[in-house]
Structure 1
Amino acid sequence: MISRALFLSFILVLCPYVSVVDVAEATSGRAIACNGSVCLNEALPNPNGLDADVWPNGEWMEIYNSGSTDIDVLNWRLVNKASKYLTFDSSSIVGFEAGNSSTWTISAGDYMVISRNGSSNFYLTNTFDYITMEDSSGTVLDQASWNFSTSAPSGLSLEEDPAGATNDWIGTNSTTPGAINDPAVAPLPPVPSDLKISEVMANPWPSFDGDSWPGGEWFEIWNSGQSDINLTGWSAVDANGNTIPFNESHLVGSSMIIASDEYRVIAVNASSSYGVLNNNAETLDLLWPNGSVAQSISWSGTEPGFSMVEQMDLSWSHASYPSPEAVNPPHWDMIVNGSSIIKITEVLVNSTIDGAPLPDGEWLELHNTGNSDFDLMGWMLMDGMGNVTQIDMLSLETNMSQPGTMISADGRRLVQFFTGTELWNDYNHVMLIDQFGSVVHKSWWDNFPGQNVSLIESQNPMAAWTPASWPT
C-alpha cells in the first residue's frame, strides 16, 4: 500500500508536465456548422508558389454573406489550430480602401476574400488544420477543418463538404476567390480501352527526373488489343493536372501508330526541369482523345531506379526490373523460372568502401550445393535496376583452390561489385541468371542492415533477407 501510494503521488506530481496528445489531429471532422449569416466558404492552404506571398498569390480564405443585410467585418479574425490569428483589416481584406466603409462591409449575397498577404503571424497548414472565424467581440461564428495524410492538393481550394457541415472540408473543382464555388464532381468511371499503361519510371537513377530520353521519367503503354491504335490526341495527366500529350516531344519512336501487342514509351523528355511524376503519392490517368479517362493508376512510393508495374492485387509497386518497350518480367514472387545447384547464400550490401574491390567492397557469396565442380562461365547477376554483373574472372575473387570461374562441390565463391554496379543499401533485388538466361535464385532486402552487416535468406523464402549474426 505504501509503495502504491507513493507511485500515485509521483504520477500526480508528474501530470502537469505530461504533454497531451491533440486527439483532434488523429480524427476527422473538426469543422462546426456556421451560426450566422456570414460564413467561411472557401480556403486555399496550398497555393502554387509561396504560402506567404502577397495577394493575388499566397494563402487565402473566402467568406460569404448568405443573409439579407450588409455586415461590417472590420476587426473580425481567423484563428488557426496553433492560435495564430489574422485580423480582417487593411492588410488582409482584398479590395480594402481607407475611409470607404463599403470595402470592409460584406453585402448580402456577396463574397469577400481574406488574404494572408505576406503575414508572418498566420498560416494555413497543408496537412491538418482547423480555422475558426470570430467576430470583433470574439464570438465564434464558424470553423473549417481539413485533414490530409500528405498534403492538401496543390493550387486547388477547399470548401465545406455538402454531405455535412461538421465534416472535414473537401477539394473544389477549381479556385474561385470572390465568386461562387466550383464544386468538385464525382469522376466518371473509366471508359476502358485496349491501350494500357503497363509500366512507370517515376524515380529514375542515375539520371535526373527531367532528363532527356533514355534518361528521365517515363511510362510505357501497351496495345493489348488485336488492332492498331492511332495515338494522335491521346495523353496522360497526373494528380496535379500536368498533361503529357502523346506527340513527337514525348512519344519515343517516329510512328503515331502502336501495333497490336506493341509496347511504346512516353518520356517526360526534358519538358520539365524537375520532372512531372511524384516519387511519393501520385495518380496517373490515361486519357482518350476526347478527354475521357481510359485508365487510372496510383502509387504511394518509389525507389530510385526501380520501375513500377501492376501487381497481382491490382496495386502498383516495384517491378522485378525495368523493361521499357518490352513485355514486363514476371512479378518478383514468381521471378525464379529455373533451378540450379548454385545458390546465393549471403550478401554484403554496405561495405567499408562501396565500389571498391575486396576486401573493402561489397560482395555476394555463391554456394555450390551439388556433388560436382561447376563452371560459372556465362552466368551473371542482375539487380532490380537492370544493372548486370558478369560472373567472370574479374568479378570473382581470386581463389587458388578454385581457379578461373570454377566453383568446387560444396564450395563457395565471392562475387565483388567494383566495375560500376553498386548495391542499394535500403532496397534492392538481385537475380542469379544462368548461361541460358533463366533466373535460378534471388535475393532481396527492404531495410538498411548497417555497415558491414551481411544478409542471409529468411526462413520464409518469400520474405526479405535478414541480417546475419556476422559476415561469413
Structure 2
Amino acid sequence: MVNATNSWLSYPNGNWIELSHRNTDPAVNVTGWNIITGTAQTFSLDAGFSGRDSGSGLLIDSESYVVLSTPPTSGQMLINGDTISLVNASGNIVDSVSWSANFGSNRTAIPTDANLPAQPMMISGWATPAMANPNQMSSSVNESADFRISELMPNPVGSDSNLYPEGEWVEIVNVGNDTASFQGWKIRDGRNTSLALDSQSIPGLNESISSDWELDAGEHLVVWRNGRAMSLQNSGDAVSLIDNQGEVVQTLVYSLTPLNSTLVSGNDIADEWTHSPWPTPGYANPLFDNPYTGATTLEVNEVMPQCTGGNLGIDGDWLEIHNTDSVTINLSRWLVVADSGDAMVLQSLYLQHYAAGVAYDRSDWWNLDAGEYAVLIPENNGFLSNFDEMIDLRDPNGDVRQEVVWSTSENCRSIEGDASAWSEDWLNTMWPTPGDENPEPTPWDPEDPVWFTKVMPGQIYNRDNEFIEITNMGNGVLNLAGWHLNRIKSDGTGNSGTFNGLNLQPGESVTLTQSPTNLSEDGGINAVDMNQFLDYSPWMYDSGSSLQLISPDGVIADTFVYGNGLATVSGWTGPAVSTPPTSTQGLIFMRGDGCNDITDTNTSADWEFRWMRLGASMFCDSGVFSTTGSLEPMASPDGSLYQFTEWLDGSTTELHIHVCELMSNDIVAKLIQLSQANVDITIILEEDPFEEEEDLYKIRGMAYELYAGGITVYWMGNPRGENAPPAPYQYIHSKIAVRDGESVWIGSGNIKESTFPAGDYPSNRDWGLVINSQDVAQLVMSRMLWDENLSHPHLNSYSVMDPTTGKPSGWTSYGPSGLEAVPPTITPPVISGDFTGQVLTCPDDCVSGIINLLDSANTSIELSLQGFDMGWHWGFGDNPMVDAIERALARGVAVRLLINGYYVNYDDDIRDTVNHFNNQWNRTDGYDATAILMAPAERITKLHNKGVIVDGESVLISSINWNSNAILRNREMGIVIHNEQLAGWYLSSFEEDWNRLDIYTDTDGDNMP
C-alpha cells in the first residue's frame, strides 16, 4: 500500500508492506533486515511488525504473513513508480519488486505469482494485510455442513451500506436433509470483519423464539448488511460462512461485481463465483447453462457516452447491441465491463428492445432475434466515461467478444466503429439511431459546397492555437471521413492529413486547432483538436501558404491562398489574399463578412472584405429594429450637459456606460451620486487613450473616483500575462449608455467638458441622441454585455494598485464644477411614435451598415465629420465608403461634406479630401459634390461629429470616425434612425454649421483668400 488516503496514520490505516514466509522451512529471524527503495529510503524491520497472522517478535513463521507499517516519517515510496528490495542482515537482496504507475488511492499491488521472487506487480482486487493475497485464494466448502452461501449481492443500486431493504445482502440455504439452526453463525469478509446472523441482519427474526433460528431443508434465508461494518468489496473479495463453533465451513472468492447483479456458484467449488441471470433473494437460483454454448456473434453497434438534455427519448448514457447472427441469442448473463472495472449484466431492468427503430416490450426479454437491436441503459449515468474509455462485451463464460475504445465524445453525439478493429478509436455517427441501423454517409455532391470560412495562421506565441474553420454550406449532412486537408508551401511541396470522421450538419461549422483549450482561453472560440480527427495535422506558415479541402474521390471542394502562398494551385485564380499591414499573431482571415455575405469565386475577392482579430466579437443579427418609443436629440455644446444629466437622473436600477474617456467633473459626481442611491453602474473605459500626460492623469484619477464610489469599472485594453494574445481592438472608442434596460444614449463625443461643458463654456460640435425604447435598449445591451464579459482577456478589472491604470500618485478629487448645467437655448423636441433603424458595431458590421445607408440615398447625403480619410490603409483595396459616395453621386445624389478644419494646417488628408470633393468630383466629374471646412462659433470650438443624414429622412449618430483604423480596428458603435422629423432636426444643426462663415476659415480648403 503506497498511496493510502491517510498515509500519515498508523496501521491498519496509512502505507504498509506485507512480507510472507513462502515455504515450509523453519521460522526466519529478520533482525537487521531492511527494505530499501529505489531512492535509497530505508525501512528497518527491527522496528517490528504492526500486523501478523501468527508468531511474535522478529521471527516470521513458515507460511505466515507480517505487515510493516511505513509512515512518511520513516521513509517514502514513490507513488508513480519505484523499486523496493528486501535485504538481509548480510546485505544480500532476498527479493525485490517494481512498479511504474500509480495503483490508485487506497489500492494495493501484489506479485503476479506469489510463489516466485521478483515478479511483476498487479493491482489487487482488495487489500489483504497479514493474510493470503486474492490470487492465492480459492473457493472451498465443508461438505458436511448444513448451510451454504448460495447467492450474494455485493454491488446493489445505491450505497452498499444502505439500510434494509437496500444495500448489500448474502443468501444462505439449508443443503441438508433436516431442519437446522443457524443461531451463532456469521458471515465474514476478506478483512476478517464479521456479520452476525441476528435480528438486525435478518429483519423480522424474533431471537427469543427458537424456531425462528431454524431453516427447513432446501429453505433460503437472506442476510442483510443493514448498515453494519462487514462489507462485500466491489473490486473483489473473499467471503466466508462461519458456524457457531467459529469454524469456517465455506469460503468463496469473486472479482467481478456487476451493478445490481448477484453472484452464484460456478461449475466447481474452487472456481470464482459468477454472475446470475437475475437476483432471486430468498428463492432458488435460476438455472442457466454453464458453460454457455450459444451463439457469440453479439456486437456493440453504437454507444452514447454522454447526453444531457437530449431528445432521443433516452436519458443519459446508453449502448446499442446488435445480433448479427442468423439465430436468436440468449442475452442473460452477457456482460458489459468498463475500463474502470464497473460491470453490468444484461437484464430486463436495463434493456430496451427495438424493431425497426421502434421500442417495444417482450416477456422473453432475454431473447434477441436475428438481426435485431437492443439498447442497454445503465442506471448509473457515469458508467460510460466521456473520455479515454474502453469497454468489453463478454459472453456468459467471461470471454471478451469485443472491445470498444474512444478517446473523446460530444454531448448527445453517439459513436460507432469497426466491431472487428478493437484498438481503433470509435468516432461520431452521423446522428444517433438507438435500436436501428447506423446511417451511412452519402457520397459528396459538389452541388453541396464545403468551404474554408475562417483561417488564423499566426498562433499566439507559444499557444499552438492557430486554426482553420470549415463550414458545410450545403443542404445535406456531411461526413468528413476520408476527406483530405492539404497544406502546400510556397515552394510547391505539401503535406496532407486525412479525416477519420467528423459530421457537419447543413450550415454547421467546425474549428480545427492544435490546442482547443488555448484557443478558447485566448479567443473564446469552441474548437476541436485536429489531432483527433486528422492522421496528420498540417500547421500553417505565418508568411503564407495554400490550403485545399479535397473529397475522398479527389475533387477539390475549396482552396484558400494567403500571403506568399502558391497562387497557381488548383482551385484558385489570381493573386493570393493579401496580408494587412499588421502583426499576423492572432490575425484571422475571414470569408466575406463572416455572417451572411459569403461568396465563392475561388479568388481573393471572397476573402478581402475585412479581417478580424482573435478575441473580437462577431455579431450576425443585422442589428435592424422596428419599434415604438420616443427620440430626444441633442447637439453640443447647447444644453448637452443639462440634457445628459437629466437623462442620468432617470436611472432607477442599472446603468451601463461604454466610452473612450470619462473625465467630466460634473458627470463623475452625478454617477457617484446615483451609485450611492443604489443604482448598479458598470463602466468600460479605454485603458490607454491617445492623450497628453495631463489628461491621462485626470482619466486615471476619475476612474479611481468612480471605483471608490462603488461603481464597477473595467479597462478595455491589452490582455495581461505571459504569452497573452494581442488586443482584438486598437481602442474602445464607443460613446454609448443604456439606462434601466429601457433607454439608450449614443453620441459622437467623449464624456468630458469638450462635449458636455459646464455653464456656458465653449466645446466641440457633437451630436447625441436619447432613444427611449426597450427593443433598442436590449439590442444595444446584447453588444455591451458581450464587451462586459470578464472571460475576455482584453477586459481588465479596475485595480487601485495597478502601477499604470490605478490611482495616480498625489491624486485629489476635483469634485463638481459648481456651475449650473444650462438648458438648451431652444428645447429639442421629444419625437414619439413608430420608427425603424439599425445598430452598427465596429468592426463587426459598421462597414456594411454605413455602405447600405449611403446606397439607400436618392436625393441627398449630408456628412458632418471630424475627419474623412479617403485611403484604406488597414483594409483590403480601396475605401468602400468612398466607392459608395461615388455611386450615389453617379445616381444624381447631392453630397455635402462638412469637415473639421481645426487641424487642417497639420493634416494634409483634410485638405486632400475637400479638394477631391470639390475638384475631382465636382469640377472634373460634374457631380453635385461640395465640401467645406466648418468655421467655429462663439461656443463651438471645432467639429468633432460623426453624423450622416440621408434624404432628410435617416440619420446616423455614432462614434465612428471615417478612417480605416476606426472602422476596422476600434470598438465603435452607431445607430441609424429612419425618422423624418428627427433627421430634420439634425439637418437644421447641419445647416447652421454649413452656413456659418468667418474671415479666418479657409472654407473651401483651397489655400486661396
Same fold, judged at TM 0.5 (above): yes
Verify the 8 A CA contact 1:250 1:267 in the aligned structure 2. Answer: no
Q: Is 1:96 the equivalent of 2:205?
A: yes
Distance of 1:274 and 1:122 partners within structure 2: 24
**What CA distance in whole angstroms lies between the structure 2 residues aligned with 1:60 and 1:154?**
14
Q: What is the CA–CA distance in structure 1 between the aligned matches of 2:266 and 2:223, rounded to whole Å?
A: 20
Secondary structure of the corresponding residue to residue 82 of structure 1: coil
Q: Distance in 1 between matches of 2:529 and 2:232?
A: 42
Tell me if the contact between 2:355 and 2:373 (Cα under 8 Å) persists in the aligned partners. no
Distance 1:199 1:160 in 2: 32
The aligned runs of 1:21-40 (5 Å cut-off) are 21=110, 22=128, 24-27=132-135, 29-35=137-143, 36-40=145-149
The answer as to 2:225 corresponding to 1:175 is: no
Deviations 1:214-248 (A, max 9, x none): 996577899999xxxxxxxxxx9974432233369
Would the aligned equivalents of 2:262 and 2:279 in 1 still touch at CA under 8 Å? yes
| Structure 1 residues 238-257: aligned runs within 5 Å | 239-241=345-347, 242-246=350-354
d(CA) in 2 for partners of 1:214 and 1:372?
A: 55
Out of 118, 122, 130, the residue aligned to residue 230 of structure 2 is: 122
Structure 1 equivalent of residue 220 of structure 2: 111
32-41 or 178-187, larger mean C-alpha shift: 178-187
For 1:52-451, what aligned pairs fall within 5 Å after superposition?
52-116=161-225, 118-148=226-256, 152-163=257-268, 165-185=269-289, 186-187=291-292, 189-190=294-295, 199-204=301-306, 207-208=307-308, 211-213=310-312, 239-241=345-347, 242-246=350-354, 278-279=384-385, 282=391, 298-299=402-403, 301-305=405-409, 307-310=415-418, 312=420, 314-315=421-422, 317-319=424-426, 322-324=429-431, 325-327=438-440, 358-359=460-461, 361-363=463-465, 372=491, 386=503, 389=510, 419-423=525-529, 428-431=532-535, 434-438=548-552
What does the per-residue CA deviation read over 1:327-380, in whole Å, with 9 as the maximum and x for residues that have no partner?
489xxxxxxxxxxxxxxxxxxxxxxxxxx972374436999676725899xx99
Q: State the 1:183 CA deviation.
A: 3.7
What CA distance in whole angstroms lies between the structure 2 residues aligned with 1:89 and 1:49?
24
Q: Secondary structure at the match of 1:428?
A: helix
Counterpart position of 1:13: 46
Instruction: Indicate if the aligned counterparts of 2:417 and 2:426 stay in contact, CA closer than 8 A.
Output: yes
Q: Hey, what's the Cα distance between the residues in 1 that align with 2:313 and 2:424?
A: 21
Secondary structure, counterpart of 1:246 in structure 2:
strand
The SS at the match of 2:239 is strand
Are the aligned partners of 1:32 and 1:142 in contact in 2 as well (CA < 8 Å)?
A: yes
Q: Secondary structure at the match of 2:249?
A: strand
CA distance change for structure 1 residues 106 and 7 in 2, over 3 Å: closer, same or farther?
A: closer
Q: Give the match's secondary structure for 2:417.
A: strand
Q: Is the 8 A contact 2:429 2:503 kept in 1?
A: yes
Contact residue 127 and residue 147 of structure 1 kept, 8 A: yes
Q: Aligned partners of 1:323, 1:122: CA distance in 2, in Å?
A: 49
Higher helix fraction: Structure 1 or Structure 2? Answer: 2
Contact 1:134 1:140 in 2 (8 A): yes
1:212 maps to a residue whose letter is N
2:26 corresponds in structure 1 to none
The TM-score normalised by the length of structure 2 is 0.29
Select the structure with the greater relative contact order (CA < 8 A; seq sep ≥ 6): 1
- Compared CA separation, residues 32 and 223, structure 1 to 2 (3 A): closer
Which secondary structure does the structure 1 equivalent of 2:212 belong to?
helix
Note closer, same or farther for the CA distance 1:390–1:54 as it changes in structure 2 (3 Å cut): closer
CA 1:141–1:384 in 2, change beyond 3 Å: closer, same or farther? same
**Map of 1:337 onto structure 2:** none
In structure 1, give the amino acid aligned to 2:235.
T
What CA RMSD, in Å, does the superposition of the two structures yield over aligned residues?
Answer: 5.2
Q: Distance in 2 between matches of 1:40 and 1:222?
A: 36
Query: For residue 384 of structure 2, what is the amino acid of its counterpart?
Result: N
| Shift, 1:108, TM fit | 2.7
Change (3 A) 1:250 1:63: same
Instruction: Specify the alignment match of 1:403 in structure 2.
Output: none
CA distance in structure 1 between the aligned counterparts of 2:441 and 2:401, rounded to whole angstroms: 16
TM superposition shift of 1:421: 0.4
Q: Measure how far apart 1:180 and its partner are.
A: 1.6
Q: Which runs of 5+ in 1 are unaligned?
A: 226-235, 252-263, 286-295, 330-355, 397-415, 441-472
Please state how far the C-alpha of 1:15 moved relative to its aligned partner.
Answer: 7.0
Structure exhibiting the larger radius of gyration computed from Cα positions: 2
Distance 1:421 1:79, change over 3 A: same
> Is the 2:146–2:180 contact (alpha carbons within 8 Å) kept by the matching residues of 1?
no
Match of 1:102, SS state, is helix
User: Would the alpha carbon gap of residues 360 and 146 (structure 1) be closer, same or farther in structure 2, given more than 3 Å must change?
Assistant: same
Report the Cα offset of residue 107 of structure 1: 2.3
Aligned in 2, Cα 1:169/1:11: closer, same or farther, shift over 3 Å? same
Contact between 1:203 and 1:303, CA under 8 Å: does it hold in 2? no
Decide whether aligned partners of structure 1 residues 139 and 75 sit closer, same or farther in structure 2, where only a CA change above 3 A counts: same
C-alpha separation between the residues in 1 aligned to 2:296 and 2:32?
A: 69
* Length-normalised TM-score, structure 1: 0.56
TM-superposition CA deviations, 1:9-58 (whole Å, max 9, x none): 98652673636954854527532123412222211111233322333332
Counterpart contact for 1:34–1:143, Cα < 8 Å: no
2:657 maps to what in 1?
none
Alpha carbons of structure 1 residues 93 and 248: separation in structure 2 relative to 1, 3 Å = same
Count of residue pairs brought into register by the alignment: 342
In the alignment, the residues of structure 2 paired with residue 214 and residue 417 of structure 1 have an alpha-carbon distance, to the nearest angstrom, of 36
Matched residues in 2 for 1:92 and 1:223: separation?
A: 43
Pick closer, same or farther for the CA change 1:29–1:142 going to 2, 3 Å: same
Identity of aligned residues (%): 16
Q: How far 1:198 sits from its partner (Å)? A: 8.0
- How much has 1:144 moved relative to structure 2? 1.6
Which residue of 1 is the match for residue 160 of structure 2? 51
Deviation, 1:74, is 1.6
Change (3 A) 1:57 1:371: closer
5+ residue gaps, structure 2, are 1-30, 36-42, 50-66, 70-107, 111-127, 326-333, 337-344, 360-371, 395-399, 432-437, 443-457, 468-484, 515-521, 538-546, 555-1009
| 8 Å CA contact 1:203, 1:302 repeated in 2 | no
